[in-house]
Every structure is written in structure tokens, then in C-alpha cells.
Amino acid sequence: MLPTKAVIPVAGLGTRFLPATKVIPKEMLTIVDRPTIQYIVEEVVASGIKEVVLVTASGKSAIEDHFDYSFELETFLAQKGKLDLLNEVRHISRLIEVVSVRQKEPLGLGHAVQVTEQVIGDQPFVVCLGDDLVESEEPCVYQMLKVFEKYQEAVVAVQEVAEEDVRRYGIAEGKEVEPGVYQVERIIEKPEPGMTKSRLAVIGRYILRPEIYDCLKRTLPGIGGEIQLTDALDTLRTERSLYAYKFKGKRFDAGDKLGYLQATVHLALDHPDLGHAFKKYLKEIVARL
Ligand code: G1P
């Protein structure tokens, strides 16, 4: 059985982007011409996922509205004959079914996943973090689904990071069982220097099995006093199995100001209408540096 639902936690306050995120959810910040969350939703749609489960909090309704049908806007665009824009707006509302679940307390990523148990039920599912954007030929989630299909066990996407960055991520240790696929022997949230030799950092893409819910229930608060998904995954790998997959593509941390700017430049260069003119402009700037 392959996952059909993707959980996207969006309840965070976006403090790294204040004051921009005082009123606007960080997931609605624009990269080129669409909000960051739309890139994630497009990735899961392109991977064959049929339903998105948003884990929300108050002040986040703009995200639900973005994927909803807008009668007023569509009628206006149709009357004005602005058909390209109408198609663009329709495309968003028809992308995928969206349901929302509230995370009533900010108790961490593990807790955000825990509150989806009722809507996910007894089936494997995808988790995508809204800060992580992946530019790749084949969607990152699709690549991971192929690994899941083979092993039928939970899969986390990893990339190698510099030693000084290890403390910013969940880090997986394990042995490579085929090129780019590791059987995880330990996974640690934000290890202190010296705690691990591995540099395989988990990025915000997970394929989970329903057994994770039981692991989460037994997970005590970890780093930062939060219920960490990484800690529950470490339980899961002892009771079942866990694989880490080195995805093909480039990941941006759009939750960080520098990462956000890098994502903007990359995606603007790839944009079908803007790419050419933007490249020319960048060359002019570089020549002046
Ligand atoms: C979360 C996870 C961490 C993972 C990271 C990827 O951390 O807890 O394991 O490596 O996302 O972006 P956060 O960045 O929310 O602190």
C-alpha cells in the first residue's frame, strides 16, 4: 500500500521571519510568484498524493483560503476576460483536497504529527515540512515513495551537511544497503558536537507508517522541551525498521532568511517567463561586484 495523504505542519509562529510574519503566515511568504506552501503542495501532487492534511493554529486561515475555491475572484476574472489568470487561480483550488487539524498547543513536530492520527488512520503517510523546498528533476516525495515501495518501512530524506551544521538537524547513522539508501541504526535530534560521526541530515520529508503514532505516544519531551519526531523515529527503528534516502536534488531552507533568498534566486532563474530576463539582470549585477 502506498501513501495517499501528506501531512504538512503549518502551526509554527514563524519567529525567524518577524516582522514579515506578524500577520502573514510564514508559509504564505512569496517565492517569485507563489507562496512557499504552494511549492510543497505541488511537489506532493506531482508525486501522486491525493489529500493534504494541514496541521494549523489560529492566524493561519490564509493557507486554507489559498487552496480553496474563490467564487468572487473567479467570477471577476471571467467577466474581465482574464483567462490566463483565471486558469492559474482555478489550478490552485483544484490541485488537491485539503483538510485541517488544529494543533492546540505548540509542543513540537512530533506532537503536530500526533494530532493527525484520527484523519490518517491505519495507513502509511507522507510528512512535508513547509520550510524545506526541494528543487529536483523528479519530485523528492516521488523518489522516496519508490524506496518505500521496495522496503515497506518508514523513510526519511537526508543530505550530507558540513560538520558545523550537524547540530541544526536530525542526524541519521546507518549502513548503506544500496546506493543512496541507508538502514538507520540511530537517529538523533540536533546532536552536540562529538555525539555522532554521521553527517546525514534529515530534511523535511518523511514517509511514515501508522506505527509511528504509538511511538509518539511513548515519546517524552526532548530537545527544547518539545516532542520530537526524531525521537519517535528512533523508537520505530528499534521496533521495526527505518531507512534514510539521499534524495537527488537541491534543498533550500526557506525558513531561514539566507536560504529563502537562495531559493528565490534559483526558482526565479528556472521560471519559464522570468528566467531569461532575470539571468541577464544577475549577470549585470555580478559584473558590478
Ligand atoms: C526539524 C526536525 C529536524 C530536521 C529539520 C529539517 O527541525 O526536527 O530533525 O532535520 O526539521 O528541516 P527544525 O528545523 O524545525 O528545528
How confident is the model over 247-262, as a mean pLDDT? 95
Q: Which pLDDT score is estimated for 193?
A: 87
Q: Which of the four pLDDT bands, split at 50, 70 and 90, describes residue 230?
A: very high
Given a contact cutoff of 8 angstroms between Cβ atoms, the answer to whether 124 and 1 are in contact is yes
| Residue 95 Cα to ligand 1 middle (Å) | 27
Residue 109: CA atoms inside 13 Å, Cβ hemisphere, count? 24
Given a contact cutoff of 8 angstroms between Cβ atoms, the answer to whether 170 and 212 are in contact is no
pLDDT tens digits for range 170-224: 999 999 999 999 999 999 999 998 999 999 999 999 999 999 999 999 999 999 9
Grouping H, G, I as helix, E, B as strand and the rest as coil, residue 60 is coil
Which atom number of ligand 1 is nearest to the Cα of residue 229?
8
Which atom number of ligand 1 is nearest to the Cα of residue 189?
9
Rounded Cα distance, 199 and 185, in Å? 14
* Ligand 1, pocket-test mutation among 7, 134, 169, 245, most atoms within 8 A of CB: 169
Higher per-residue confidence, 11 vs 289: 11
158 pLDDT more than 90: yes
pTM: 0.95
Residue 11 Cα to chain centre, angstroms: 13
How confident is the model over 145-157, as a mean pLDDT? 98
The residues near 61 (Cβ < 8 Å, ≥ 6 apart) are none
Grouping H, G, I as helix, E, B as strand and the rest as coil, residue 260 is helix
| Residue 284 Cα to ligand 1 middle (Å) | 37
| Residue 109 Cα to ligand 1 middle (Å) | 8
DSSP for residue 28: G
14 pLDDT more than 90: no
- Structural domains in the chain, CATH included, are 5-255 (3.90.550.10)
Rounded Cα distance, 206 and 5, in Å? 12
